[in-house]
Amino acid sequence: MIRKLCAEDINEVVSIWYSASVKAHEFIAEEFWHSQKEPMRDVYIPNSETWVYHLEDRISGFISYYQGFIPALFVSPSDQSKGIGTELLTTLKQYYNQLSLTVYAENTQAHSFYIRQGFIELERKLCEHTGHEEILMSWAL
C-alpha cells in the first residue's frame, strides 16, 4: 500500500534512507551520510511531499517530491528488486507530468533504473557536497 507520509513515519523513513544510501553509495564515506541524518529528519523530508510504501507491517520505501524534483527515492536494502521503487515512481507520475532528479554516475544500478523508467540524461556535473559526478535526469509525460 502506498500512502502519504505521517509524522510518526519520519524515523523509519530516515532509517531506510540511511541504510539504502550507505549501500548504494559505497564510493562516499559513511560519515557523510551520518552527518545528513538530522537534516533529512528535520528539514528535507518534512518540507517535501512524501509517499511511503507499506509492505506487511512496516515501511519498506519512500519517494519525496519538491518543486518538480525528486530529492529522494529509497527502498530498504532487504526489499530492493521487488518493484517497490517502480510503484512509488508510478504513483508520483500520476500526480505530476514532469519530474527531474539527480543520481550519482557511480550508482549505475539507480541510473539504469531511471533510464528504464523513461528518464533521460540532461547534464553531468560534480556534486558540491561530495565531489562525485552526478547526472541530472528528467522525465515528462
Q: Is the pTM of this model over 0.85?
A: yes
Give the span between the Cα atoms of 114 and 137, in whole angstroms. Answer: 8
Give the span between the Cα atoms of 36 and 19, in whole angstroms. Answer: 12
CB 70 within 8 A of CB 63: yes
What's the structural domain count of the chain? 1
CATH number, domain of 77, equals 3.40.630.30
pLDDT in tens, the chain (141 residues): 999 999 999 999 999 999 999 999 999 999 999 999 999 999 999 999 999 999 888 999 999 999 999 999 999 999 989 999 999 999 999 999 999 999 999 999 999 999 999 999 999 999 999 999 999 999 998
Domain containing residue 90: 2-140
At 124, list the grid cell: 553531468
